[in-house]
Structure 1
Amino acid sequence: MAESKKVLYVISAVLLLSFSLGFAFEFGGGGPMVLYFPGGSLLSLKYINVPILDFSDFQSGVFAIGGYGYGGLPGKMSSGGYGFAGESEITKDGAKYKLEISGGYGGGYSNISFGPIGLIAGLGFGSFDIALSRKVNEDNTSLTDLKNGTLEGYIGANISYLSISGSLALALKISNFAELQAGAMVFAGYSIDGWQVNGKQLTGIIQNDYKFLLNYALYGGIGFGF
């Protein structure tokens, strides 16, 4: 995954947080959150939940860090968004592999309050990105390695999905300025280009098997407002 894309997600999360701090929770909120993408396959269906080229080794799942923010008028739909990025590494047959997941969404939210407890439902549109890479040339860190193209690094493939997301969460107001959220998200998407290597299609696979995304995550976060 390109570092610039990671930076973009982080900047988006910070901007959302900064924007949301100007609202009370009656008008909106925002803050950091942690997402967990379980490993394996949902309902034992192939290519469902993190379609990573038949890699079944990331059974421990992936944790991602992100941020969210939303704002609006009391009793009305709110608008906002969230972004996240995370990675997991494994060693298989002596080789190190890294799986990266990231995404960014904007959309609408509805908050039904029952005193200090709220039920928040959301629908968003954005992108969901997955990258799978292998570490090569470990400990080759010299200038000569750089010139010879044998420098330590990761080589891999990535896929991007146009995606929609749905979320449902419980929010507990712990003060006039803070609330806790816990919930689940579902992601569905379609990839136009499929798995890519430096902008070229990855060969040796049936690309259509990976064009559709169905993924889910559990998340928790803390929001701030005043």
Structure 2
Amino acid sequence: MFRKFRKASYVFAFLTTILVGFVGTTFGFNFGGGGPLVLFFPGGTVIGELKNLNVPIVNVGNFGDGILAVGGFGYGGVPGGLYSGGFGFGGEREYTTPDGTFKVSVGGGFGMGLKKINFDNISLFASLGFGGVDFSIAKKVNEGKTSLDDLKSGQLEGYLGASISYTTLSVGVGASLKISFVELSLGGIMFLGFSTDGWTVNGKKLTGVTDSSNLLLSYSLFGGVGFGF
């Protein structure tokens, strides 16, 4: 059930981004806007020992060792001086540890409400969203084995991994600068989520991980470029 909901939330965010981006480019930022988005999920911890990139095995301890994700956003005006829209993103990075090479991936999609306070060409904004975030971790195995015989024997080079999906609330704040039909935005987003299934491998529960992994408390920094007239 939750997997279907998360897939639907990603599709909703994608379609909303396209729709309100079209509205923004047609009517201007007073009515909406949309464009590309870049997020950075830093390394390090958030509270206590809870890691910002809360994955097993790979300990991303340094701020600069985080993951860069790319995506898009869009929003359109609704009555009451508010905006409704969505955003989505995805990114990955490889890490080398004493146990081998691991690829960590993050992706998500959200519908959101947005409130903007305008000061001429500068705006402050806050957003509240609901959607899903997925993390995965996979170990690189059988490196260099790329022959047909390796494929037949099941020893082909590739990745073996596990994933976790969170139903998530997002809270964002930021500022934007409008220059003609372009709007430059910077800010941060806090993600609070919970996973009912935990880490899984091919639909089966991954054993040996702590229950704290079911809780997501993470943040990202973001920059975006919106377009409108």
TM-score normalized by the length of structure 2 = 0.88
Residue 76 to residue 31, structure 1, CA distance change in 2 (3 Å): same
RMSD: 2.2
Matched letter for residue 140 of structure 2:
K
Asked whether the equivalents of residues 26 and 74 of structure 1 are also in contact (C-alpha less than 8 Å), the reply is no
Partner residue in 2 for 1:222: 225
**Among 26, 29, 36, the residue aligned to 2:30:** 26
Q: Does 1:134 align with 2:152?
A: no
Q: Distance in 1 between matches of 2:39 and 2:122?
A: 21
SS in 1 for 2:152: helix
Matched, 1:37 2:37: no
Q: Distance in 2 between matches of 1:48 and 1:192?
A: 19
| More off after superposition, 20-29 vs 148-157 | 20-29
1:96 aligns with 2:101: yes
CA distance in 2, matches of 1:10, 1:74: 25
**Does the residue aligned with 2:23 lie in a helix, a strand or coil?**
coil
The aligned counterpart of 1:174 is 179
What residue identity is the alignment partner of 2:17? L
Amino acid at match of 2:193: G
SS of 1:25's partner is coil
Task: Report how far residue 103 of structure 1 moved.
Answer: 0.5
Task: Work out whether residues 163 and 189 of structure 1, in 8 Å CA contact, stay in contact via their aligned partners in 2.
Answer: yes
Aligned-partner Cα distance in 2 for 1:93–1:197: 23
| Amino acid in the other structure paired with 1:76 | G
- Which whole-Å CA distance do the structure 1 matches of 2:217 and 2:12 have between them? 26
Counterparts of 2:111 and 2:170, CA distance in 1 = 9
Identity of counterpart residues, as a percentage?
A: 47
Instruction: Note the 1:106-121 alignment, pairs <5 A.
Output: 106-121=111-126
Deviations 1:52-108 (A, max 9, x none): 115314631110001000001475211100000011111122721111011100021
Question: Higher mean Cα deviation, 141-150 or 129-138?
Answer: 141-150
Question: Do structure 1's residue 165 and structure 2's residue 166 form an aligned pair?
Answer: no
Greater alpha carbon shift after TM alignment, 149-158 vs 66-75:
66-75
Contact 1:134 1:155 survives alignment (8 Å): yes
Paired positions, count: 218
Maintained 8 Å contact 1:14/1:67 = no
Amino acid at match of 2:45: S
Conserved? CA contact 1:140–1:152, under 8 Å: yes
Residue aligning to 1:209: 212
The match for 2:17 is 16
Shift in CA distance, 57/22, structure 1 to aligned 2, threshold 3 Å: closer
Cα distance between partner residues in 2 of 1:144 and 1:12 = 43
Displacement after TM superposition at 1:167 (Å) = 0.5
Question: In the alignment, is the contact (CA less than 8 A) between 1:162 and 1:189 conserved in 2?
Answer: yes
Report the TM-score when normalising by structure 1: 0.89
- Runs of 4+ aligned structure 1 residues displaced above 2 Å come to 8-15
Q: Which amino acid aligns with 1:97?
A: F
1:190 aligns with 2:181: no
Contact 1:37 1:62 survives alignment (8 Å): yes
Q: Does the CA-based 8 Å contact 2:20-2:85 persist in structure 1?
A: no
Greater alpha carbon shift after TM alignment, 57-66 vs 189-198: 57-66
